Chains A and B, each alone.
Chain A
């Protein structure tokens, strides 16, 4: 009897400790703004996160079982697709855009280079359904997962019963992707007073604040908005960016401003992956037709030195969001 009471107290206290140590959302440093995603309305749940992680790495999502989310969003490339200017899907088909890196998505209010999707929960419908990406449909995925005993078990653990629905698949994928937080770069340690920039990095930081920060706004290194960066249209792709979504002429050639974190891992650069080196990107901004930036070759080197302080090695090699075992 007494043992029973003690056990009960221990169970209650451990429950309390769990509640206290598990905020409804994700952990991030003080210099980050609050998230755009509403974790109070949709709290993270570890079973759902793990289910989403498993789905993210599983080729079962594609029509022929060859392509997973991670095929083009590899953890070792900060969830981008290194060395591929344009990503490829089922049957070796090539798409029309460079796969964007995935991190700090809880702060994002639009997704894709043209902001086609505004909800992290519904965005996966695009690669799932695109004939040159996964070539499947959410309905087919629900059917395939329903026939899979281990998945039925995982849905049961996450949602209380083994029913697989489109809503549940998409919720789980979103939960996993929301946990991808990159906030451990040298820049972040400097912000926290735990490290210092070198002289060159500091010079680069000042130049960055003068020329880049309006769009690539600290500490996420994007405003989340759209901008015209002066790239000429690649006539083999004829990609006019946001206009293709809004049908508004004034949105022609607007592309989503990407974060500048983890650039060492996410080359090539720009929406169509046309630049293989960071130096080419800097050169473009210094020489573009409209409002070229007066930055010398030496200053460009300084900016690159600063940008490399945004590499987050701990994020890239974090096994918690790597391939599930």
Chain B
């Protein structure tokens, strides 16, 4: 009798256990061609470019086959923080045998969510990713030091956000991928710095024309390994 009940308990897992596939997305930030190590002391080594903060929102994650969306994560906002190793991995549970050849996501909090009220979890304002002086999430924070940056203590600070036209900084990123157990996505900081003259552009704190340009540049850091 009891053994029967026990067996019954396992029945669902026997029936449904194999009915999902998994896909793990690993984000790998690269600086100077090697895995990013966050500089926490604040520009310790002289002469080198350092990154202290790399933190961004990722939402509306989708898998595509051609132009068709075959998988979509609803109402999910991930706060990805290079300082929190666990946040660099996104495990997805997919229907078995799902065919896909593309990955698409929004860099930032979608404007509908940004236009609504307060939320908890990754969207809680205690995460320091909501502007206080005005409405809106900071979609992307990139901070550090660089010898060519003329600001105080050679600091560059890019706080890219804004959800209202004409300065909406949310961006879609689409990458070609192949079905696998896991895929690695490079966040190529070198490509950002190659395209950014830190002696001229080193500070973005509000939505505007410069934040729009920087938002475009940030999307180009993402590529499949």
Contacts A116-B134, A116-B135, A118-B135 given; does A125 touch B125 at CB 8 Å = yes
Which A residues lie within 8 Å of B209 (CB)? 247
In the docked arrangement, what's the CA distance between A219 and B164, Å?
29
Known: A117-B135, A165-B120, A171-B118. A122 touches B164 (CB 8 A): no
Complex CA distance for A167 and B123, rounded to whole angstroms: 9
A246 contacts the other chain (CB 8 A): yes
Give Cα A120 to B130, complex, Å: 14
B124 touches A165 (CB 8 A): yes
State how many residues of chain B have any CB contact under 8 Å with chain A. 24
| A170 contacts partner chain B, Cβ-Cβ < 8 Å | yes
Q: Which of A90-98, A126-134, A267-275 contacts its partner? A: A126-134
> Considering the chains assembled together, what is the distance between the CA atoms of A116 and B206 in angstroms?
12
B133 adjacent to chain A (CB < 8 Å): yes
Interface SS majority for chain A? helix
Known: A122-B130, A125-B132, A129-B132. A170 touches B115 (CB 8 A): no
Give Cα A129–Cα B208 distance, bound, in whole angstroms: 22
- Chain B contact residues, majority secondary structure: loop
A119 pairs with B126, CB closer than 8 A: no
CB distance from B163 to the nearest CB of A (A): 10
Which residues in B have their C-beta under 8 angstroms from that of A117?
134-135
Give per-residue flags for A117-156: 1 if the beta carbon is below 8 A from chain B beta carbons, else 0. 1111110011011100000001100100000000000000
- Does B115 lie within 8 Å of A118, measured CB to CB? yes
Query: How many Å from the CB of B121 to the closest CB on chain A?
Result: 8
Is A24 interfacial (CB 8 A cutoff)? no
Q: Is the CB of B132 within 8 A of A167?
A: no
Contacts of A42 in B (CB 8 A): 117
User: Which chain B residues border A245 with CB–CB below 8 Å?
Assistant: 134
Which residues of A sit under 8 angstroms from B125, Cβ to Cβ?
122, 125, 138, 166-167, 170
A110 CB, nearest partner CB in chain B, Å: 9
Q: Is the CB of A174 closer than 8 A to any CB of chain B?
A: yes
- Which residues of A, 157-198, contact B by the 8 Å Cβ criterion? 165-168, 170-171, 174
B164 contacts A167, C-beta separation under 8 Å: no
Contact residues in B for A248 (Cβ distance below 8 Å): 166
Which residues of B155-175 have CB atoms within 8 Å of chain A's CB atoms? Answer: 164, 166-167
Q: Chain A CB within 10 Å — which of B132, B164, B167 has the most?
A: B132
| Cβ < 8 Å to A, chain B residues 96-154 | 115-120, 123-126, 128, 130-135
Report which of B120, B123, B128, B207 forms a contact with A247, defined as CB distance below 8 A. Answer: B207
Q: Indicate whether A166 sits within 8 Å of B126 (C-beta atoms), given known contacts A116-B134, A130-B132.
A: yes
Contact B118 A121 (CB under 8 A): yes
Would you give the 0/1 interface string for A237-281, flagging 1 where the beta carbon is closer than 8 Å to chain B? 000000001111000000000000000000000000000000000
What is the interface of chain A, defined by CB distance below 8 A to chain B? 42, 116-122, 125-126, 128-130, 138-139, 142, 165-168, 170-171, 174, 245-248
* Extra contacts besides A125-B130, A126-B133 (8): CB < 8 Å: A119-B117, A122-B125, A122-B130, A139-B126, A167-B119, A167-B123, A171-B117, A246-B164
